[in-house]
Amino acid sequence: MSIERSIDTNKKTLTIAIDGRFDFEVVKDFRNAYSEASDIEACIVDLRATEHMDSSALGMLLNMKKSLGEKVNISIINCRPAIKKILTISRFDKKFEIE
């Protein structure tokens, strides 16, 4: 379980990739991954390696959205079907770009 953070300086895009389970165990790491980013225009949450997520992860995403503000476009990419279903059930497609 780990959080990997990479930034593309040209495009001002922050990418956060979550490996394994996206749940309360990574609350702190996840927050650290975006809290120091300033001046970014877009944020990508790459869930390609995320096997499961729970409702605490939904909360984390919403907190991130609040913290980064409306100007930063957040997209959640590479979701597995079960994760996509959780996001859709929770209507996250309204606030995030889910790919």
Partner 1 sequence: MKILIVEDTATNRTLLTWILEDNGHEVIEAADGKEGVEQFKAYQPDLVLMDVLMPVMDGVEATKQIRSHLGNTHVPIIFLTALSDDASLTKCLEVGGDDFISKPINEQVLKAKINAHSRIKELNEQLSKQNIELTRLHQLTQQEHIIAKKVFETAFSASLLDSSNIRHYISPAANFNGDLLLTAISPSGSLYGLVADFTGHGLPAAIGALPLSKAFFDAASRGDSVSSIAKELNHDLGEFLPDNMFAAAAIAEMNANGSRLTIWMGGMPDALLTNPDGKLKQTIQSRHMPLGILENDEFERDCYVINVDPGDRLYFYTDGIPEALNSDGIMYGEKRLLEHFNGRAADPFDSLIQDNISFTGAQSQADDITILELICKPVETCPYPRPQDLALSQIIPWNFSTTLTVDELKSCTSPISKIVDFIGNDNVLGSHTDYIFTILTELYSNALEHGILGLSSEIKKTDDGYLEYYEQRKVRLKELQEGQIQVSLSFRRQSEEGILAITMIDSGKGFAFDTKPTTNEHDSCGRGLSLIKSLCHWAEYSENGSRVDLEYRVNLSR
Nearest to 78 by CA among 50, 59, 54: 50
Q: Which of 14, 60, 68, 72 binds partner 1 (CB under 8 A)?
A: 60
Q: Which of 2, 49, 68, 71 binds partner 1 (CB under 8 A)?
A: 49
What are residue 5's DSSP bridge partners?
A: 16
Contact call for residues 60 and 23 (beta carbons, < 8 A): no
Report the alpha-carbon distance of residue 88 to residue 98 in Å, rounded.
9
Q: Which of residues 78-97 bind partner 1 (CB under 8 A)?
A: 78-82, 84-86, 89-91, 94-95
Q: How many residues bind partner 1 (CB under 8 A)?
A: 34
Give 4's DSSP letter.
Answer: E
Asked if 55 interacts with partner 1 (CB under 8 A), we say yes
Q: Residue 50, Cα to own-chain centre: how many angstroms?
A: 11
Q: Which of 2, 6, 41, 99 binds partner 1 (CB under 8 A)?
A: 99
Asked if 6 interacts with partner 1 (CB under 8 A), we say no
Q: Which of 3, 7, 40, 77 binds partner 1 (CB under 8 A)?
A: 77
